[in-house]
Amino acid sequence: MPRIRFALVALAVVLGAAGPFALAVEPGSDPRAVALAESVLEKMGGKSAWERTRVVRWDFMGRRRHWWDLHTGDIRIEADKRIVLMNVTTKTGRVWQDGQELAGQELADALTRGHQWWVNDSYWMFMPYKLLDPGVTLRYVSERSMQKDGRAADVLEMTFGAGVGYTPQNRYEVGVAKDTGLVEEWAFFKDAQDEEPGFVLPWSGWKKFGPILLATDHGPDTGGDWNIAVFNGLPASVFESREPVGP
């Protein structure tokens, strides 16, 4: 797989079901951009659809598998013989590596890493739901043709406040397709001052999973099938036991 150059992306709010809809219009946000973001959120089902969603499972680029209970904040991450069971709000939990449970500083470091994985990987799944997070400033850039197929899109710029996520210096340009009203492209800038993006990738293949819409296509070099699924609930053991979880 060709290397996609990116850092841990900024994530404004990580508080379960309410997080992506703790809506806030930041000073400096462009009213046109805010109105467009609001229309995108409605296209995806809005706040009510998100609040009806309980557990989401997905694979991140073939590297990690996540289970996230949006109501409790509990997550399970399986990656490279490592299992992370933690809560994203309290940042407490348990970690096993090669079948051995970690403790002390090794555990603390592994939980920090697990939280970073979750921040990054969940942003790749849910970014369009977070356009109006607290700390996110939106600006309307222009109309532009998307790289994948040349269709017209309105482009929004996302920048972040100093306390947002792990990498608030990031910047994004987000393409909202004029014909669908959904986010269908994004460009990542490692530093807000960069003139050229680190990548430009599609955000397409939108499908309904439970009550919400999620994109299934992030480009050919991003791991293929992300194995997305939404569940009304799962056994507690998914978030409590190192024993394998079914498909």
Q: Which domain holds residue 90?
A: 16-239
86 backbone dihedrals φ, ψ, rounded to 5°: -155, 175
pLDDT score recorded for residue 160 = 84
The residue type of 50 is W
Interatomic CA distance for residues 127 and 16, integer angstroms = 14
Amino acid at residue number 183 = V
In a structure prediction context, what are the per-residue pLDDT tens digits for the chain, which is 247 residues long?
334 444 444 443 333 333 445 566 667 889 999 999 999 999 999 888 988 999 999 999 999 999 999 999 999 999 989 999 999 999 999 999 999 999 999 999 999 999 999 999 999 999 999 898 888 899 999 999 999 999 999 999 999 875 666 666 788 999 999 999 999 999 999 877 788 899 999 999 999 999 999 999 998 888 888 999 999 999 999 999 999 897 6
The domain total for the chain is 1
pLDDT for 43 equals 93
Instruction: Determine the Cα–Cα distance for residues 155 and 172; give it in Å rounded to an integer.
Output: 10
245 lies in a domain? no
Distance CA 81, CA 144 (A): 43
Residue 114 CA: distances (Å) to CA of 15, 71, 180, 196, 237: 16, 19, 35, 30, 19
pLDDT digits (tens, 9 = 90+) for 52-109: 999 999 999 999 999 999 999 999 999 989 999 999 999 999 999 999 999 999 999 9
Specify the pLDDT at position 2: 38
For 71, which DSSP code?
T
3 located within any domain: no
Domain membership of residue 196 (yes or no) is yes
Query: How far is Cα 198 from Cα 224, in angstroms, rounded to an integer?
Result: 20
Classify residue 10: in a domain, yes or no. no
C-alpha span between 102 and 144 (Å, rounded): 49
Distance CA(110)–CA(19), nearest Å, equals 24
The predicted structure's pLDDT at residue 234: 95
The CB density around residue 100, as the number of other CB atoms within 10 Å, is 10
CATH number at residue 199: 2.50.20
Say how far apart CA 9 and CA 168 lie, in whole Å.
8
Asked if residue 8 is part of any domain, the answer here is no
- Whose tokens are 């806030």? That residue is 24
Backbone angles phi and psi of 72, in degrees to 5: -105, -20
* pLDDT number for residue 15: 34
Please tell me the predicted confidence (pLDDT) of residue 24: 60
Residue 20 lies inside a defined structural domain of this protein: yes
Is residue 54 a part of any domain in this protein? yes
pLDDT at 80 (0 to 100):
86
Asked if 163 contacts 141 with a C-beta cutoff of 8 angstroms, the reply is no
Task: Identify whether 206 is part of a domain.
Answer: yes
